[in-house]
């Protein structure tokens, strides 16, 4: 059964969040619709349940049984929760948060109250290292409430922000895998997921996670970081991770990094990854684990 560990829920609230940051759109009565029009996107439905239904139809058309659904702007935890409650067997709600934000305790409380399955951290965007003290409440909440923690390492590109011309600081030094390694060991009971194979940090990540058993990698996006990495192609990346004693096939999660309509679900990403796994002669059991079994086991 195909499952997707990485799908962004670009709701009306998310597009409005970005639209209000564009000088030419901030005074629009409907900044979400204005941003969608400028980006050439399908304007999302006003209610999250309706957008969730749109995604379910899309997932059905590609044979995807479940997907992790990311709240991709501040305050979206109730939005993804409503979407997931509408389709509880199909959608797994997660929320992005900034540990340096004004009301981290309130956001974490809302995540727990809304029964979200995990949180997403972006150190390069919000300016902290994964092992900074500011992150400790997040990891403690994850332990207390059984949450999964995504941590984006390495390169970070926020396409919607770039396309809308929104200025913002990204300091990729903060996405340092050596600063995640002690966190993994200190919080061994918390599952951590690093998306995009570490987005350019895989070669630095593998040596520092020896003996770690709570780290997962997701395979999402085009993985363009390979262009100037030691890995010549995606098949080499898969082979490297499959052969790693601390990861292997049981800790690789397929992700598409799908975001908006009309593009919809990224079947191109799936096909590319399926071909890469065939090229390295991954077994049927390994492919089944990566394309669904591992996420089902991690987030039942």
* Dihedral sign, Cα of residue 92, residue 182, residue 128, residue 101: positive
Q: Do the beta carbons of residue 76 and residue 97 sit within 8 Å?
A: no
Q: Do the beta carbons of residue 146 and residue 191 sit within 8 Å?
A: no
Tell whether the model's pLDDT for residue 260 goes beyond 90. yes
Q: Count of alpha carbons within 13 Å of 205, Cβ hemisphere only?
A: 30
* Dihedral sign, Cα of residue 261, residue 67, residue 188, residue 273: negative
Q: Do the beta carbons of residue 112 and residue 141 sit within 8 Å?
A: yes
Which residues, listed in sequence order, are joined to residue 212 by a DSSP beta bridge? none
Domains: count for the chain: 1
- For 236, the domain range is 2-298
Tell whether the model's pLDDT for residue 26 goes beyond 90. no
b/e code 179-198 from CB counts within 10 Å (16+ = b): bbbebbeebeebbbbbbbbb
pLDDT for the residue 11? 98
- Helix axes of 77-86 and 48-61: crossing angle, nearest 10 degrees: 60
CATH number at residue 217: 3.20.20.140
Alpha carbons 224 and 53: distance in angstroms, whole number: 31
**Please, what is the Cα angle at 271 between 270 and 276, to 5 degrees?**
100
pLDDT range class, residue 102, cuts 50, 70, 90: confident
The model carries a pTM of: 0.97
pLDDT for the residue 275? 98
pLDDT range class, residue 197, cuts 50, 70, 90: very high
Percentage of the chain surpassing pLDDT 70? 100
Give the closest residue to 8 by CA, choosing from 265, 267, 274, 284.
265
> CA separation (Å) from 120 to 108, 130, 168, 234, 286?
12, 12, 19, 24, 26
Put the strands of the sheet holding 64-71 in their side by side order. 2-9, 64-71, 91-96, 118-121, 148-151, 192-194, 215-218, 252-253
Task: Taking residues 98-114, report their average pLDDT.
Answer: 95
Torsion of CA 37, 224, 219, 169, to 10 degrees: -60
Alpha carbons 1 and 293: distance in angstroms, whole number: 7
Give the closest residue to 94 by CA, choosing from 66, 57, 124, 133.
66
């Amino acid at each position: 059964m195909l499952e997707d560990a990485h799908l962004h829920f670009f709701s009306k609230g998310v597009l409005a969040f970005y639209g209000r940051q564009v000088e030419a759109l901030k005074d629009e009565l409907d900044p979400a619709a204005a941003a969608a029009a400028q980006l050439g996107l399908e304007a999302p439905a006003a209610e999250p349940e309706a957008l969730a239904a749109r995604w379910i139809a899309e997932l059905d058309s590609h044979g995807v049984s479940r997907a992790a659904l990311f709240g991709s702007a501040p305050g979206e935890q109730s939005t993804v929760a409503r979407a997931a409650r509408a389709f509880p067997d199909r959608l797994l709600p997660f929320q992005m948060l900034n540990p340096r934000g004004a009301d981290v305790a309130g956001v974490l409380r809302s995540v727990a109250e809304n029964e979200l399955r995990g949180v997403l951290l972006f150190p390069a965007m919000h300016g902290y290292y994964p092992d900074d003290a500011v992150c400790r409440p997040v990891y403690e909440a994850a332990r207390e409430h059984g949450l999964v923690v995504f941590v984006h390492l390495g390169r970070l590109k926020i396409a919607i922000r770039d396309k809308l011309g929104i200025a913002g600081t990204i300091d990729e030094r903060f996405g340092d895998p050596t600063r995640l390694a002690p966190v993994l060991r200190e919080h061994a009971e918390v599952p951590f997921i690093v998306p995009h194979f570490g987005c350019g940090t895989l070669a630095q990540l593998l040596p520092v996670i020896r003996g770690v058993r709570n780290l997962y990698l997701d395979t999402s996006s085009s993985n363009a970081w390979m262009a100037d990495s030691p890995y010549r192609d995606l098949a080499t990346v898969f082979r490297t991770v499959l052969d790693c004693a601390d990861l292997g096939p049981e800790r690789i999660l397929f992700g598409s990094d799908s975001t908006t309509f009309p593009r919809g679900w990224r079947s191109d990403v799936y096909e590319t990854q399926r071909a890469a796994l065939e090229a390295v002669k991954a077994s049927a059991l390994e492919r089944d684990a990566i394309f669904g079994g591992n996420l089902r086991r991690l987030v039942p």
